[in-house]
């Protein structure tokens, strides 16, 4: 092509792009939210933390884009605006990283731990787990003491833990662990934004360090504790524990059996105080107030009762935010509810993609790191998909089939299918499992939650000061029993849970971007881009093999893929890592079963000599030949020439190690810290 023709073609493409963007007037907010989130994603994907000069440069570039957007017209100005918003997303995430920065324990600690209880939950093993702030550690100054620590209690004979109490115990503490494998869940980053500088366990009784003090924070904590205990007294057993979890967010009393049944039936979201609970509560208050005002004709005919109902529902949502403990998920749910109610107060449509975009921007401004979590991804995927689908139906006359009682049933079925389809890929990515009968379970359980459990729990709490709560709480308890029975029955169905192997870590951002573009798209051009991205994510998902070799970050566990599945070097110990590997393989077996598998491996893999302890180390060193590997939890100082050593010293600098085939079939070694990059939450090599 002649250079002049190419220039004309490029100019035509630019004009076409600006014309497309000009046509987005009135529908640009979703693209603003998408671009802001993309900028946050870019920040978390960076291999290096931007230094101060880079931050200043980005700030000036953001300002320049703002000026160009203000001066520009039509699509050109919008392109400049989006560029500035993308940079603003990067800067917002970096600002948040710096705001939550705090000391991280750099070694293993054993000694006295004192602090104020800010959260109570249970670990995977069922032990009571406390999160403490205002921490004090022996022989450690304030500058190096973590702002928060989390301790699992192996001995529960001491003081009954309650939020706000200042307690003390003797505990083992360690720095937050890195990913169990390269590209896996980054707990170090997760702990950084929770301000957790150390985690551990204690085998000594919990003691009261000082008498409780007053204050608003303690008053809220006391109210939450009182409400939870009152519900447990009136609704004994697991029914009361579920009621307390729904109301106050305290899931410490739930049994492992109930939790597993809810997960297997895809009903675990009913325990998390999120958009569903907040929406049910706000919806009940809104319609109860509006229905009550409609019974008074002078008010209903002459005053904006719809706006009044929204104004009354908003304080209830705020109260529920504080009562439930104000977790990240609840904050996100409150923002979404507040945006919807605000739209009603302003006379706009409450359920629109613009409202979803405003809620996403607000959540990401408050906590940019929530973009990387399953809660944000699944809640906005479900909400966005439901809004897009039901708005499309309402624009057609065929939407009339959704009216009446038949319409209510069909709407519920369609909602379950749409929400399940939107959240299913994210659930499989994060949890390596799919509940095959989730739509059935939600069809049977969610109406009970919305029509009986949530409204009657609210009524019961409001009537509790008058002593009239017995009847509503009893009926709410029947509803919870129904939900638990549905969860048990569905979980017992053959094939209720399907294990899903974990894909390459790149699948998640491509999938998320494709879903976001599909939600924001107005024309077939953008939809084509979204479909392409979703297709790429599917290809990456299906073609990414699991690592042939995995080595834990402390060199205590090795996993090698065999024809029968992954073989593990230990049948016990390092259980969390072993469970994580097997779940990521989509392999529902125990650690002991995996360790008993035959050691038949790919002959192209290096010979691995595993030394479980000091006694095994001399034999491993003697057997190692050129090209072989030695994996030892103890230091290896005299390995033969040509032997590759993975000991505790080496793993401290690399983190977990994976060996996977590349496109040509050759084996490539990847380390966890290589994937994590040099970020504030990643310990420096040798640190």
User: Domain total for the chain?
Assistant: 5
| Angular region, 666: left φ>0, alpha ψ -120 to 50, beta rest | beta
- Helix (H) or strand (E) holding 561, with range, is strand 558-562
Q: 512: pLDDT confidence band, cut at 50, 70 and 90?
A: very high
With 60 as the cut, is the pLDDT of residue 493 above it?
A: yes
Report residue 101 as tokens: 């920065």
Task: Tell me what pLDDT residue 74 has.
Answer: 61
Task: Tell me what pLDDT residue 86 has.
Answer: 95
With 70 as the cut, is the pLDDT of residue 3 above it?
A: no
With 70 as the cut, is the pLDDT of residue 478 above it?
A: yes
DSSP E strands, 410-457: 433-435
Q: 19: pLDDT confidence band, cut at 50, 70 and 90?
A: low
- 453 and 486: one domain? yes
With 60 as the cut, is the pLDDT of residue 11 above it?
A: no
DSSP string, 67-90: HHHHH--HHHHHHHHHHHHHHHHH
Which of the residue ranges 55-69, 80-94, 384-398, 509-523 would you say has the lowest mean pLDDT?
A: 384-398
Q: Please write the tens of the pLDDT for every residue from 158-210.
A: 888 877 889 999 999 999 999 999 989 999 999 999 999 999 999 898 988 87
Final residue of a domain: which of 316, 343, 372? 372
Q: 92: pLDDT confidence band, cut at 50, 70 and 90?
A: very high
3-state secondary structure of 656: coil
Mean pLDDT of 136-159: 89
Task: Tell me what pLDDT residue 71 has.
Answer: 82
- 26 and 78: one domain? yes
- 86 and 177: one domain? no
- 160 and 114: one domain? yes
d(CA 234, CA 215): 29
More confident site: 16 or 538: 538
Q: Which residues of 341-363 are buried (b: 16+ CB within 10 A; e: fewer)?
A: bbbbeeeeebebbbbbbbbbbbb
- 590 and 664: one domain? yes
CB 621 within 8 A of CB 636: yes
Report residue 677 as tokens: 């990059």
Mean pLDDT of 432-453: 83
- 58 and 125: one domain? no
- 234 and 175: one domain? no
Q: Please write the tens of the pLDDT for every residue from 597-651.
A: 988 888 888 889 998 888 888 888 888 888 889 999 888 888 888 888 998 888 8
- 327 and 281: one domain? yes
3-state secondary structure of 390: helix
Task: Tell me what pLDDT residue 8 has.
Answer: 39
Which of the residue ranges 124-128, 361-365, 437-441, 633-637 would you say has the lowest mean pLDDT?
A: 124-128
Q: Which residues of 285-300 are buried (b: 16+ CB within 10 A; e: fewer)?
A: bbebbbeebeeeeeee
List, in order, residues 6 or more apart from 596 with CB less than 8 Å away: 571
Q: Does residue 10 lie within any of the structural domains? A: yes
Q: Does residue 313 lie within any of the structural domains? A: yes
- 191 and 244: one domain? no
Q: Does residue 416 lie within any of the structural domains? A: no
DSSP string, 124-167: TTS-EEEEEEEEEETT--TTTS-SEEEEEES---SSPP-TT-EE
Mean pLDDT of 385-409: 68
Mean pLDDT of 380-406: 71
With 60 as the cut, is the pLDDT of residue 57 above it?
A: yes
CB 441 within 8 A of CB 483: no
With 60 as the cut, is the pLDDT of residue 65 above it?
A: yes
Task: Tell me what pLDDT residue 595 has.
Answer: 93
Task: Tell me what pLDDT residue 48 has.
Answer: 92
With 90 as the cut, is the pLDDT of residue 551 above it?
A: yes
With 80 as the cut, is the pLDDT of residue 1 above it?
A: no
The angle formed by the CA atoms of residues 42, 580 and 193, to the nearest 5 degrees, is: 40
Q: Does residue 407 lie within any of the structural domains? A: no
Task: Tell me what pLDDT residue 5 has.
Answer: 44
Task: Tell me what pLDDT residue 514 has.
Answer: 92
Mean pLDDT of 520-544: 85
- 240 and 308: one domain? no
Mean pLDDT, the chain, as a whole number? 84
Total residues found in the chain within this entry = 687
Which of the residue ranges 60-64, 170-174, 339-343 would you say has the lowest mean pLDDT?
A: 339-343
Tokens 């109930």 — which residue?
A: 258
d(CA 56, CA 125): 46
Mean pLDDT of 492-498: 88
> For residue 160, what are the domain limits?
109-213
Tokens 């004979």 — which residue?
A: 157
3-state secondary structure of 367: coil
Task: Tell me what pLDDT residue 68 has.
Answer: 87
Highest mean pLDDT of the ranges 212-226, 416-430, 557-571 = 557-571
Task: Tell me what pLDDT residue 486 has.
Answer: 93
- 318 and 353: one domain? yes
Which of the residue ranges 108-122, 395-409, 522-536 would you say has the lowest mean pLDDT?
A: 395-409
CB 473 within 8 A of CB 235: yes
Q: Does residue 424 lie within any of the structural domains? A: no
Final residue of a domain: which of 67, 99, 131? 99
With 90 as the cut, is the pLDDT of residue 658 above it?
A: yes
Final residue of a domain: which of 37, 67, 99? 99
With 60 as the cut, is the pLDDT of residue 277 above it?
A: yes
Task: Tell me what pLDDT residue 9 has.
Answer: 47
The angle formed by the CA atoms of residues 634, 637 and 641, to the nearest 5 degrees, is: 125
Q: Does residue 526 lie within any of the structural domains? A: no
Highest mean pLDDT of the ranges 51-60, 227-236, 263-272, 489-498 = 51-60
Q: Helices 470-491 and 238-248 meet at what angle, rounded to 10?
A: 100
Which of the residue ranges 232-241, 405-414, 597-606, 642-651 would you say has the lowest mean pLDDT?
A: 405-414
DSSP string, 468-501: --HHHHHHHHHHHHHHHHHHHHHHTSTT-EEE--
d(CA 168, CA 422): 45
- 169 and 237: one domain? no
Nearest to 129 by CA among 230, 253, 255: 253
CB 568 within 8 A of CB 557: yes
Q: Does residue 467 lie within any of the structural domains? A: yes
Mean pLDDT of 453-471: 86
Task: Tell me what pLDDT residue 413 has.
Answer: 72
Backbone angles phi, psi at 616, to 5 degrees: -80, -15
Nearest to 143 by CA among 194, 104, 193, 86: 104
CATH number of the domain where residue 134 is located: 2.40.50
Q: Does residue 70 lie within any of the structural domains? A: yes
Q: Please write the tens of the pLDDT for every residue from 612-624.
A: 888 888 888 888 8
| Angular region, 35: left φ>0, alpha ψ -120 to 50, beta rest | alpha
Rg of the chain (C-alpha set): 27
Q: How many CB atoms lie within 10 A of CB 396?
A: 8
Nearest to 199 by CA among 168, 170, 171, 176: 176
């Amino acid at each position: 092509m002649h250079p002049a023709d190419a220039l004309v073609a490029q100019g035509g493409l630019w004009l076409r792009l600006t014309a497309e963007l000009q046509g987005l007037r009135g529908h640009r907010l979703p693209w603003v939210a998408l671009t802001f989130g993309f900028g946050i994603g870019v920040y978390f994907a960076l291999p290096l933390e931007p230094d101060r000069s880079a931050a200043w440069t980005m700030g000036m570039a953001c300002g320049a884009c703002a000026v160009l957007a203000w001066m520009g017209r039509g699509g050109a100005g919008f392109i400049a605006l989006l560029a500035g918003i993308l940079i603003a997303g990067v800067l917002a995430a970096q600002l948040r990283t710096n705001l939550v920065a705090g000391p991280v324990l750099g070694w293993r600690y054993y000694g006295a731990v004192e602090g104020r209880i800010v959260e109570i939950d249970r670990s995977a093993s069922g032990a009571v787990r406390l999160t403490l702030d205002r921490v004090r550690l022996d022989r450690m100054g304030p500058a190096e003491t973590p702002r928060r620590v989390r301790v699992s209690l192996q001995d529960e004979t001491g003081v009954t833990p309650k939020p706000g109490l200042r307690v003390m115990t003797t505990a083992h503490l360690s720095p937050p662990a890195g990913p169990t494998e390269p590209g896996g869940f980054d707990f170090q980053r997760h702990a950084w934004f929770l301000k957790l500088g150390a985690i551990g366990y204690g085998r000594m009784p919990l003691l009261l360090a000082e008498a409780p003090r007053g204050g608003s924070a303690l008053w809220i904590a006391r109210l939450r504790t009182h409400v939870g205990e009152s519900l447990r007294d009136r609704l004994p057993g697991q029914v009361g524990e579920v009621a307390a979890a729904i109301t106050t967010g305290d899931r410490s009393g739930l049994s492992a059996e109930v939790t597993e049944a809810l997960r297997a039936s895809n009903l675990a979201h009913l325990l998390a105080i999120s958009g569903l609970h907040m929406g049910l509560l706000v919806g009940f208050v809104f319609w109860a107030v509006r229905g009550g005002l409609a019974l008074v004709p002078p008010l209903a005919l002459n005053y904006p009762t719809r706006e009044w109902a929204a104004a009354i529902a908003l304080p209830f949502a705020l109260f529920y935010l504080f009562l439930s403990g104000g977790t990240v998920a609840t904050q996100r749910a409150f923002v979404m509810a507040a945006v919807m109610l605000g739209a009603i107060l302003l006379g706009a449509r409450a359920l629109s993609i613009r409202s979803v975009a405003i809620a996403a921007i607000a959540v990401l401004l408050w906590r940019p790191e929530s973009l990387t979590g399953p809660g944000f991804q699944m809640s906005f995927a479900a909400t966005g998909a439901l809004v897009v689908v039901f708005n499309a139906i309402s624009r057609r006359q065929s939407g009339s089939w959704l009216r009446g009682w038949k319409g209510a049933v069909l709407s519920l079925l369609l909602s379950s299918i749409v929400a399940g389809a939107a959240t299913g890929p994210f659930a499989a990515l994060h949890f390596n499992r799919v509940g095959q009968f989730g739509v059935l379970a939600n069809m049977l359980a969610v109406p009970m939650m919305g029509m009986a459990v949530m409204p009657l729990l609210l009524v019961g709490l409001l009537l509790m000061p008058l002593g009239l709560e017995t009847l509503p709480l009893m009926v709410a308890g029947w509803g919870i029993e129904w939900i638990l029975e549905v969860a048990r029955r569905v979980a017992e169905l053959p094939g209720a849970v399907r294990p899903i192997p974990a894909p390459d870590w790149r699948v998640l951002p491509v999938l998320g971007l494709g879903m976001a573009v599909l939600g924001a798209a107005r024309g077939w051009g953008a939809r084509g881009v979204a479909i392409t991205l979703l297709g790429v994510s599917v290809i990456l998902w299906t073609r990414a093999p699991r690592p042939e070799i995995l080595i834990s970050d402390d060199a205590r566990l090795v996993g090698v893929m065999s024809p029968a599945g992954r073989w593990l070097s230990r049948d016990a110990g390092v259980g969390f890592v072993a469970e994580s590997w097997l779940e990521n393989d989509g392999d529902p077996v125990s650690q002991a079963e995996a360790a008993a598998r035959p050691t038949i491996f790919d002959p192209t893999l290096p010979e691995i000599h595993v030394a479980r302890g000091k006694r095994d180390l001399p034999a491993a060193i003697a057997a190692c030949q050129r090209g072989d590997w030695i994996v030892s939890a103890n230091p290896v100082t005299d390995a033969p020439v040509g032997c590759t050593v993975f000991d505790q010293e080496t793993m401290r600098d690399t983190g977990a190690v994976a060996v996977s085939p590349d496109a040509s079939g050759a084996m490539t070694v990847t380390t966890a810290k290589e994937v994590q990059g040099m970020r504030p939450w990643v310990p420096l090599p040798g640190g």
